[in-house]
Amino acid sequence: MKKISILLALMFSISLISNAQTSKRNSAKLSLDAGDIAKAKEAIDLAIVNEKTKEDPKTWMYFGEIYAKIGSSKEEAVKNLDVNALDKALAAYKKVAELDTNKVLFLELSTNALQLANNFYANGISCFEAQSFDKAIAEFDKAGLSNAVIDVVDTMTVYATALSASNGGINDVAKAKYTQLIEMGYNNPSIYSELANVYKIEENFEKAEEVLSAGRAKYPEDNRIIIAEINLLLGQGRFEQVINKLKKSIELEPDNASLYLALGDSYKEVKNTEEAIKYYEQALEKNPNYFLALYNLGVVYYSKAFDLNMAANELPYDETAKYKKMIEEANVSFLQGLPYFERAYAIDAEDQDVLKALRQIYTSTKQLDKLKALNQ
């Protein structure tokens, strides 16, 4: 009988010890629910190192919840309980997934892992806005790892990582993430133009064209891809091809004045002055106060006048009549360009190129009153 009493006492003692350790875990949860985060942390820190509870997935679930609360808190006193709290919460949720082989806690884990991913994502956005792109990538990566705990791939997180990398000049990461998005079928045409731009920066024009070609095949009517192709061709001086792309782009965006300007510029580059003037004028029809269209149209006439002046000055002294005729033709061109420069000046009176052109025109055409007013 005495032996039985001793055995019962021993069993009771073991039960008390076991219950004491379990009670630490339960106490942690109760303290969390009551808003006493410091007390919850103290209790759960003991529970995760105890032999009786450290292999229980619920222990790690509570640990993750408490540390996620610490890491996302707006109160400095709480946040300072552990500066790496969110990272530890992520490790805890990974541990839950590892231990919970029957997925008894999967629904709860899903809610917590997605919330943790949102916390990391919000941190990434803050870093991105502060232009700390390397830190943004690190936070977005952790958001991705949080989603991966429950076998979820969030395309927005992958895209945010790609965008941070491309903005930060971290090209290898940018290329990997944009490629991942394309392989996942992410429905956003801009990923093609953004990936192509990374290759363009690296001067890998062939690869950039390949990416844009794939994008155009998938999104044939998306003007962002066409404009990216135009910019790529412009950078290589392939103006004839640019002209064809721009005309297609104008069909998609007929009210976009900048497209008409670019088409005018392209025609000017291939020495087709008549077509250049035509599209600059169309740009001004879309936007009468478009400074660049006004300036570039003025430059077309100014350049013609300037070339005539230079040629006249190269004539022999005995060709006075021809000289006079060429100067008169130059002044006609100057006067054709003048209204555009004057309108550009009304928009931006500080632009030095406009001021230089106006001074030359007023001097050549002997508009001395205007020249005097301009120089005052």
Give helix 320-347 / helix 352-364 axis angle, nearest 10°: 140
**DSSP reduced 3-state for 179:** helix
- DSSP string across 259-296: HHHHHHHHHHHTT-HHHHHHHHHHHHHH-TT-HHHHHH
Max intra-chain CA distance, the chain: 143
| CATH number for the domain running over 22-104 | 1.25.40
* Site of tokens 């990538």: 137
Q: Which residues of 206-245 are buried (b: 16+ CB within 10 A; e: fewer)?
A: ebbbebbeebbeebeebbbbbbbbbbbbbeeeebeebbeb
pLDDT in tens, the chain (376 residues): 444 444 444 444 444 444 445 677 888 889 898 989 999 999 999 999 988 888 999 999 999 999 999 999 999 999 999 999 999 999 999 999 999 999 999 999 999 999 999 999 999 999 999 999 999 999 999 999 999 999 999 999 999 999 999 999 999 999 999 999 999 999 999 999 999 999 999 999 999 999 998 998 898 878 788 888 888 888 888 888 889 888 988 998 899 998 999 899 888 888 899 999 999 999 999 999 999 999 999 999 999 988 998 988 888 888 888 988 998 998 999 999 999 999 999 999 999 999 999 999 999 889 989 988 888 7
Which sequence spans correspond to the domains of the chain?
A: 22-104, 239-288, 302-376
Q: CATH fold of 239-288, please?
A: 1.25.40
Judge whether 22-104 and 239-288 match in fold. Answer: yes
- Show Cβ contacts of residue 181 under 8 Å, excluding neighbours closer than 6 positions: 155, 158, 159, 162, 188, 191
Q: Say what the pTM is.
A: 0.69
Question: Could you give the CA distance from residue 87 to residue 276 in angstroms, rounded to a whole number?
Answer: 59
Q: What is the pLDDT of residue 22?
A: 63
* Site of tokens 């791939």: 153
Is there a contact between 198 and 175 (Cβ–Cβ < 8 Å)?
A: yes
Question: Could you give the CA distance from residue 120 to residue 109 in angstroms, rounded to a whole number?
Answer: 16
Q: What is the pLDDT of residue 15?
A: 43
Q: What is the pLDDT of residue 46?
A: 93
The closest alpha carbon to 109, from 85, 90, 83, belongs to: 90
Question: Could you give the CA distance from residue 191 to residue 160 in angstroms, rounded to a whole number?
Answer: 11
Segment (H or E) for 244: helix 239-252
